[in-house]
Amino acid sequence: MTAVAGATSDTKARTPSQHARRARIVAAATELLTEREYERIQIREVAEAAEVALATLYRYFPSKEQLYATVLVTWAESFETGVARARSSDASDQARLRAALRRAVRAYERHPNFYRLITALEVVSDPVVADLYARFASQFGGALRAALRTVDHDDAEAIAQLTSSLLGSLLRSWSLGKIPIARVYAELDRAVDLVFRAPAAMAS
């Protein structure tokens, strides 16, 4: 991960009690995001839910954007863990990639405010937020690449970028009410089928 200006909340939480306090703040912020959209959450509400003073919260997270970028990264870690557990039961790269993409769609379908958070954070200029957002994107890309066990490294990178970009485009259209969630699933399934059909077609 690249170095950025300013300290992250990880570097500010040095003792076990500080780490616990930081985790409590992130958990409270996450819970509020499941209830309402990012724009409607006040930082004071997070402090109250975490049972910390507002000044204490700001010592760990100097801005709402930095707090919720951390929430996004933490949420992605749980997704990555879930995908890793599921990979062992899928027999092929095609099945594993499809399952990973479908798991992502289900996560955003259940928690649409997390996708709206992504659209809010991707345009923030704060270098700390940008670094955390890059970590989030890297985690998701890594989960997709890990599903491709028998594919060349460069090809796996290209496939992960292609399907991740398509997922983002489809989710954006869904969040704007332009397409139903069923179409998101269907288009991703079709894309995965086309990716793995192409080598066979070229060989014939």
Contact 102, 188 (CB under 8 A): yes
Predicted confidence (pLDDT) at residue 21 exceeds the cutoff of 90: yes
Residue 59's Cβ-count burial label (10 Å; 0-12, 13-18, 19+) is middle
User: 98: which residues sit within 8 A by CB, 6+ positions away?
Assistant: 188, 189, 192
Predicted confidence (pLDDT) at residue 86 exceeds the cutoff of 70: no
- What pLDDT was estimated at residue 15? 87
Check: pTM over 0.75? Answer yes or no: yes
Percent of the chain with pLDDT over 90: 77
- What pLDDT was estimated at residue 83? 65
Q: Tokens for 2, please give them.
A: 């690249």
User: 17: which residues sit within 8 A by CB, 6+ positions away?
Assistant: none
pLDDT tens digits, 32-79: 999 999 999 999 999 999 999 999 999 999 999 999 999 999 998 877
Lowest mean pLDDT among 10-19, 23-32, 92-101, 127-136: 10-19
Domains parsed from the chain with CATH numbers: 10-62 (1.10.10.60), 64-203 (1.10.357.10)
- What pLDDT was estimated at residue 5? 39
Average pLDDT over the chain reads 88
Q: How far apart are CA 164 and CA 45, in angstroms?
A: 33
**With left for phi above 0 and alpha for psi between -120 and 50, is residue 6 left, alpha or beta?**
left
pLDDT tens digits, 97-131: 999 999 999 999 999 999 999 999 999 999 999 99
